[in-house]
Protein backbone atom coordinates (compact mmCIF):
# COMPACT_ATOMS: atom_id res chain seq x y z
CA UNK A 1 0.00 0.00 0.00
CA UNK A 2 1.07 3.57 -0.58
CA UNK A 3 0.50 6.75 1.36
CA UNK A 4 0.47 10.11 -0.41
CA UNK A 5 0.90 13.23 1.73
CA UNK A 6 -0.14 16.10 -0.51
CA UNK A 7 0.05 19.85 -0.10
CA UNK A 8 -2.91 21.77 -1.52
CA UNK A 9 -2.81 23.60 -4.85
CA UNK A 10 -1.89 27.28 -5.14
CA UNK A 11 -4.14 29.63 -3.17
CA UNK A 12 -4.70 33.37 -3.48
CA UNK A 13 -2.81 33.87 -0.22
CA UNK A 14 0.18 31.95 -1.60
CA UNK A 15 0.31 34.33 -4.56
CA UNK A 16 -0.04 37.37 -2.30
CA UNK A 17 2.71 36.07 0.00
CA UNK A 18 0.52 36.07 3.11
CA UNK A 19 0.73 33.96 6.25
CA UNK A 20 -2.36 31.82 5.88
CA UNK A 21 -2.78 29.21 8.57
CA UNK A 22 -6.43 29.36 9.53
CA UNK A 23 -7.39 31.83 6.78
CA UNK A 24 -9.70 30.02 4.38
CA UNK A 25 -8.17 31.16 1.10
CA UNK A 26 -9.54 29.86 -2.19
CA UNK A 27 -7.52 28.38 -5.04
CA UNK A 28 -6.28 30.54 -7.88
CA UNK A 29 -7.13 29.62 -11.47
CA UNK A 30 -3.59 28.27 -11.72
CA UNK A 31 -4.17 26.25 -8.57
CA UNK A 32 -7.24 24.63 -10.12
CA UNK A 33 -5.07 23.50 -13.05
CA UNK A 34 -2.42 22.19 -10.64
CA UNK A 35 -5.04 20.13 -8.81
CA UNK A 36 -6.29 18.72 -12.11
CA UNK A 37 -2.74 17.79 -13.13
CA UNK A 38 -2.24 16.03 -9.79
CA UNK A 39 -5.52 14.15 -10.18
CA UNK A 40 -4.67 12.97 -13.68
CA UNK A 41 -1.21 11.86 -12.52
CA UNK A 42 -2.57 9.74 -9.68
CA UNK A 43 -5.32 8.30 -11.89
CA UNK A 44 -2.71 7.28 -14.47
CA UNK A 45 -0.97 5.17 -11.81
CA UNK A 46 -4.00 3.19 -10.63
CA UNK A 47 -2.90 0.06 -12.50
CA UNK A 48 0.37 -0.03 -10.56
CA UNK A 49 -0.66 1.30 -7.14
CA UNK A 50 -4.18 -0.07 -6.96
CA UNK A 51 -7.35 1.77 -5.97
CA UNK A 52 -7.50 4.90 -3.85
CA UNK A 53 -9.12 3.58 -0.69
CA UNK A 54 -9.41 6.71 1.40
CA UNK A 55 -8.89 10.47 1.11
CA UNK A 56 -8.40 12.52 4.26
CA UNK A 57 -8.39 16.31 4.00
CA UNK A 58 -8.02 19.42 6.08
CA UNK A 59 -11.39 21.23 6.24
CA UNK A 60 -10.02 24.35 4.52
CA UNK A 61 -11.38 25.02 1.03
CA UNK A 62 -7.93 25.04 -0.59
CA UNK A 63 -7.36 21.46 0.56
CA UNK A 64 -10.91 20.28 -0.03
CA UNK A 65 -10.92 21.53 -3.62
CA UNK A 66 -7.59 19.82 -4.24
CA UNK A 67 -8.89 16.59 -2.74
CA UNK A 68 -12.16 16.79 -4.65
CA UNK A 69 -10.34 17.19 -7.95
CA UNK A 70 -8.48 13.96 -7.25
CA UNK A 71 -11.61 12.12 -6.12
CA UNK A 72 -13.57 13.12 -9.23
CA UNK A 73 -10.89 12.00 -11.68
CA UNK A 74 -10.11 8.77 -9.82
CA UNK A 75 -13.76 7.71 -9.68
CA UNK A 76 -14.18 8.53 -13.37
CA UNK A 77 -11.09 6.50 -14.24
CA UNK A 78 -12.34 3.59 -12.14
CA UNK A 79 -15.68 3.69 -13.94
CA UNK A 80 -14.21 4.03 -17.44
CA UNK A 81 -11.78 1.15 -16.93
CA UNK A 82 -14.44 -1.10 -15.35
CA UNK A 83 -11.99 -2.30 -12.71
CA UNK A 84 -13.25 -5.01 -10.40
CA UNK A 85 -12.25 -2.89 -7.40
CA UNK A 86 -13.83 0.28 -8.82
CA UNK A 87 -15.54 2.64 -6.42
CA UNK A 88 -18.74 4.37 -7.49
CA UNK A 89 -18.01 7.17 -5.04
CA UNK A 90 -14.97 8.28 -3.08
CA UNK A 91 -15.91 10.32 -0.06
CA UNK A 92 -13.47 12.84 1.35
CA UNK A 93 -13.06 12.58 5.11
CA UNK A 94 -12.64 16.06 6.58
CA UNK A 95 -10.38 15.99 9.62
CA UNK A 96 -9.87 19.10 11.71
CA UNK A 97 -6.49 17.85 12.96
CA UNK A 98 -5.09 18.27 9.43
CA UNK A 99 -5.52 22.05 9.36
CA UNK A 100 -2.49 24.32 9.00
CA UNK A 101 -0.57 25.94 11.83
CA UNK A 102 -2.54 28.82 13.33
CA UNK A 103 -0.48 31.98 13.00
CA UNK A 104 -2.29 33.95 15.67
CA UNK A 105 -2.24 37.71 15.26
CA UNK A 106 0.12 37.31 12.30
CA UNK A 107 -2.59 35.67 10.18
CA UNK A 108 -2.82 37.56 6.91
CA UNK A 109 0.48 39.41 7.32
CA UNK A 110 3.30 39.25 4.79
CA UNK A 111 5.79 36.40 4.85
CA UNK A 112 9.14 37.49 6.29
CA UNK A 113 7.90 40.87 7.56
CA UNK A 114 8.36 41.09 11.31
CA UNK A 115 6.39 43.51 13.52
CA UNK A 116 8.55 46.43 14.69
CA UNK A 117 10.30 46.50 18.04
CA UNK A 118 8.83 44.64 21.00
CA UNK A 119 5.66 43.79 19.10
CA UNK A 120 7.27 40.74 17.49
CA UNK A 121 7.22 38.72 20.71
CA UNK A 122 3.66 39.71 21.62
CA UNK A 123 2.42 38.82 18.13
CA UNK A 124 3.83 35.30 18.48
CA UNK A 125 2.23 34.67 21.87
CA UNK A 126 -0.97 33.26 20.37
CA UNK A 127 0.72 31.41 17.51
CA UNK A 128 0.20 27.65 17.60
CA UNK A 129 3.16 25.80 19.07
CA UNK A 130 5.05 22.91 17.55
CA UNK A 131 4.00 20.77 20.51
CA UNK A 132 0.33 21.42 19.85
CA UNK A 133 0.72 20.57 16.16
CA UNK A 134 2.54 17.36 17.09
CA UNK A 135 -0.36 16.41 19.35
CA UNK A 136 -2.75 16.96 16.45
CA UNK A 137 -0.59 14.79 14.21
CA UNK A 138 -0.51 11.95 16.73
CA UNK A 139 -4.27 12.16 17.17
CA UNK A 140 -4.79 11.87 13.41
CA UNK A 141 -2.47 8.87 13.25
CA UNK A 142 -4.21 7.11 16.14
CA UNK A 143 -7.82 7.92 15.26
CA UNK A 144 -7.75 7.89 11.45
CA UNK A 145 -4.62 6.57 9.76
CA UNK A 146 -4.03 3.44 11.86
CA UNK A 147 -7.71 2.39 11.64
CA UNK A 148 -7.56 2.88 7.86
CA UNK A 149 -4.47 0.66 7.61
CA UNK A 150 -5.65 -1.98 10.07
CA UNK A 151 -7.93 -3.99 7.72
CA UNK A 152 -5.05 -4.45 5.28
CA UNK A 153 -2.17 -5.15 7.66
CA UNK A 154 -3.44 -6.35 11.04
CA UNK A 155 -2.47 -9.99 11.59
CA UNK A 156 -2.46 -12.52 14.38
CA UNK A 157 0.72 -13.21 16.29
CA UNK A 158 1.72 -16.21 14.13
CA UNK A 159 1.16 -14.83 10.63
CA UNK A 160 2.27 -12.02 8.41
CA UNK A 161 0.50 -10.49 5.44
CA UNK A 162 1.92 -9.45 2.09
CA UNK A 163 1.92 -5.84 0.99
CA UNK A 164 -1.65 -4.65 0.36
CA UNK A 165 -2.55 -2.87 -2.85
CA UNK A 166 -4.13 0.53 -2.89
CA UNK A 167 -3.41 3.97 -1.52
CA UNK A 168 -4.49 6.44 1.12
CA UNK A 169 -4.27 10.18 0.43
CA UNK A 170 -3.77 12.89 3.04
CA UNK A 171 -4.30 16.42 1.71
CA UNK A 172 -3.08 19.11 4.06
CA UNK A 173 -0.67 22.05 4.39
CA UNK A 174 3.09 22.50 4.15
CA UNK A 175 4.00 23.26 7.75
CA UNK A 176 1.65 20.70 9.28
CA UNK A 177 2.65 17.95 6.83
CA UNK A 178 6.24 18.28 8.05
CA UNK A 179 5.14 17.81 11.66
CA UNK A 180 2.89 14.91 10.68
CA UNK A 181 5.56 13.15 8.62
CA UNK A 182 8.04 13.41 11.48
CA UNK A 183 5.51 12.02 13.97
CA UNK A 184 4.64 9.11 11.68
CA UNK A 185 8.25 8.14 10.99
CA UNK A 186 9.21 8.46 14.64
CA UNK A 187 6.67 5.76 15.41
CA UNK A 188 6.99 3.38 12.47
CA UNK A 189 10.27 4.10 10.68
CA UNK A 190 12.93 5.89 12.75
CA UNK A 191 15.61 4.83 10.28
CA UNK A 192 13.75 6.66 7.50
CA UNK A 193 13.44 9.72 9.70
CA UNK A 194 17.17 9.63 10.34
CA UNK A 195 17.83 9.30 6.61
CA UNK A 196 15.70 12.35 5.80
CA UNK A 197 17.18 14.33 8.68
CA UNK A 198 20.70 13.63 7.39
CA UNK A 199 19.88 14.84 3.89
CA UNK A 200 22.67 16.84 2.27
CA UNK A 201 20.16 19.59 1.49
CA UNK A 202 18.05 20.08 4.63
CA UNK A 203 14.99 22.24 4.15
CA UNK A 204 14.54 25.46 6.17
CA UNK A 205 12.39 24.95 9.27
CA UNK A 206 11.10 21.60 8.03
CA UNK A 207 11.96 17.98 7.38
CA UNK A 208 11.09 18.22 3.67
CA UNK A 209 9.87 20.82 1.21
CA UNK A 210 6.31 20.93 -0.12
CA UNK A 211 5.44 22.84 -3.29
CA UNK A 212 1.79 23.37 -4.19
CA UNK A 213 0.42 19.87 -5.04
CA UNK A 214 3.85 18.45 -4.25
CA UNK A 215 3.61 15.14 -2.42
CA UNK A 216 5.60 12.72 -0.32
CA UNK A 217 5.02 9.09 -1.30
CA UNK A 218 5.49 6.32 1.25
CA UNK A 219 5.37 2.57 0.57
CA UNK A 220 3.82 0.63 3.45
CA UNK A 221 4.39 -3.09 3.85
CA UNK A 222 3.89 -5.64 6.59
CA UNK A 223 6.86 -6.77 8.63
CA UNK A 224 7.55 -9.55 11.07
CA UNK A 225 5.93 -8.53 14.35
CA UNK A 226 8.86 -10.09 16.23
CA UNK A 227 11.44 -7.94 14.46
CA UNK A 228 13.51 -5.70 16.71
CA UNK A 229 15.12 -3.40 14.16
CA UNK A 230 12.32 -0.83 14.30
CA UNK A 231 9.88 0.59 16.80
CA UNK A 232 7.37 -1.63 18.57
CA UNK A 233 4.33 -2.57 16.47
CA UNK A 234 0.91 -1.15 17.25
CA UNK A 235 -0.91 -3.72 19.36
CA UNK A 236 -4.63 -4.02 18.81
CA UNK A 237 -7.04 -6.36 20.65
CA UNK A 238 -5.83 -9.84 19.67
CA UNK A 239 -3.86 -8.50 16.72
CA UNK A 240 -0.66 -6.69 15.84
CA UNK A 241 -0.18 -3.89 13.30
CA UNK A 242 3.47 -4.27 12.33
CA UNK A 243 4.46 -1.95 9.50
CA UNK A 244 7.52 -1.09 7.47
CA UNK A 245 7.53 2.40 5.89
CA UNK A 246 9.82 3.57 3.10
CA UNK A 247 9.78 7.11 1.72
CA UNK A 248 10.17 6.80 -2.07
CA UNK A 249 9.39 10.36 -3.23
CA UNK A 250 9.79 13.79 -1.66
CA UNK A 251 8.00 16.88 -2.99
CA UNK A 252 7.12 15.06 -6.20
CA UNK A 253 5.94 17.62 -8.76
CA UNK A 254 6.54 15.78 -12.03
CA UNK A 255 2.86 16.22 -12.84
CA UNK A 256 3.48 19.98 -13.12
CA UNK A 257 6.23 19.65 -15.71
CA UNK A 258 5.74 22.14 -18.52
CA UNK A 259 2.91 23.93 -16.75
CA UNK A 260 3.37 27.67 -17.08
CA UNK A 261 1.43 30.33 -15.29
CA UNK A 262 -0.85 32.31 -17.59
CA UNK A 263 0.05 35.98 -17.54
CA UNK A 264 -2.85 38.34 -17.01
CA UNK A 265 -3.61 40.56 -20.00
CA UNK A 266 -2.78 44.22 -19.54
CA UNK A 267 -5.84 46.06 -18.25
CA UNK A 268 -6.55 49.34 -20.02
CA UNK A 269 -9.28 50.64 -17.71
CA UNK A 270 -8.31 54.32 -17.25
CA UNK A 271 -9.56 54.75 -13.69
CA UNK A 272 -8.42 54.05 -10.16
CA UNK A 273 -10.04 50.63 -10.14
CA UNK A 274 -8.20 49.69 -13.31
CA UNK A 275 -4.89 50.82 -11.83
CA UNK A 276 -5.55 48.68 -8.77
CA UNK A 277 -6.30 45.65 -10.92
CA UNK A 278 -3.10 46.18 -12.92
CA UNK A 279 -1.10 46.38 -9.71
CA UNK A 280 -2.68 43.15 -8.46
CA UNK A 281 -1.88 41.40 -11.74
CA UNK A 282 1.74 42.57 -11.55
CA UNK A 283 2.03 41.34 -7.96
CA UNK A 284 0.74 37.95 -9.03
CA UNK A 285 3.28 37.73 -11.86
CA UNK A 286 6.10 38.74 -9.54
CA UNK A 287 5.15 35.97 -7.11
CA UNK A 288 5.67 33.19 -9.65
CA UNK A 289 8.41 30.70 -8.78
CA UNK A 290 9.41 28.65 -11.86
CA UNK A 291 8.96 24.94 -11.26
CA UNK A 292 12.30 24.16 -12.87
CA UNK A 293 14.18 26.08 -10.19
CA UNK A 294 12.02 25.59 -7.12
CA UNK A 295 14.35 23.00 -5.61
CA UNK A 296 17.31 25.34 -5.88
CA UNK A 297 15.70 28.59 -4.79
CA UNK A 298 16.21 29.93 -1.29
CA UNK A 299 15.05 32.96 0.62
CA UNK A 300 11.67 34.10 1.86
CA UNK A 301 9.86 33.90 -1.51
CA UNK A 302 10.87 30.28 -2.08
CA UNK A 303 10.03 29.33 1.51
CA UNK A 304 6.60 30.89 1.48
CA UNK A 305 5.68 29.17 -1.78
CA UNK A 306 6.95 25.73 -0.82
CA UNK A 307 6.52 25.26 2.91
CA UNK A 308 3.70 27.23 4.48
CA UNK A 309 -0.02 27.61 3.94
The residues assigned a catalytic role are 8, 100
Are 207 and 196 in contact by the 8 Å Cβ rule? The answer is yes
Q: Helix 174-188 to helix 130-140 angle, to the nearest 10 degrees?
A: 60
14 is in an annotated binding site: yes
Are 218 and 175 in contact by the 8 Å Cβ rule? The answer is no
9 is in an annotated binding site: yes
CA distances, 68 to each of 2, 53, 91, 276 (Å): 19, 14, 9, 33
8 is in an annotated binding site: yes
Are 189 and 246 in contact by the 8 Å Cβ rule? The answer is yes
62 is in an annotated binding site: yes
The residue among 71, 102, 37 whose CA lies nearest residue 261 is 37
Buried b (16+ CB within 10 A) or exposed e, 40-56: ebbbeebeebbbbbbbb
Taking the alpha carbons at both ends of the chain, their separation in whole angstroms is 28
170 is in an annotated binding site: no
Residue positions in the annotated binding site for substrate?
A: 7-14, 62
Residue positions in the annotated binding site?
A: 7-14, 62
Amino acid sequence: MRLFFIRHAESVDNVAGLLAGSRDASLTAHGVIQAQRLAEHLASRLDSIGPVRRIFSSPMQRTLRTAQAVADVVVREHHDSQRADAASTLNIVKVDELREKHMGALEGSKWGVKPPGDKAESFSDDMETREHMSARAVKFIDEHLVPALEPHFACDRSSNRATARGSILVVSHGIFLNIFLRSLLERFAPAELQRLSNSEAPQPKGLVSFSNTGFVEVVVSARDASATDETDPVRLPGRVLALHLQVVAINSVGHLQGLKKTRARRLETPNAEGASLRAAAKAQRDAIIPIQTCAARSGSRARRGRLGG
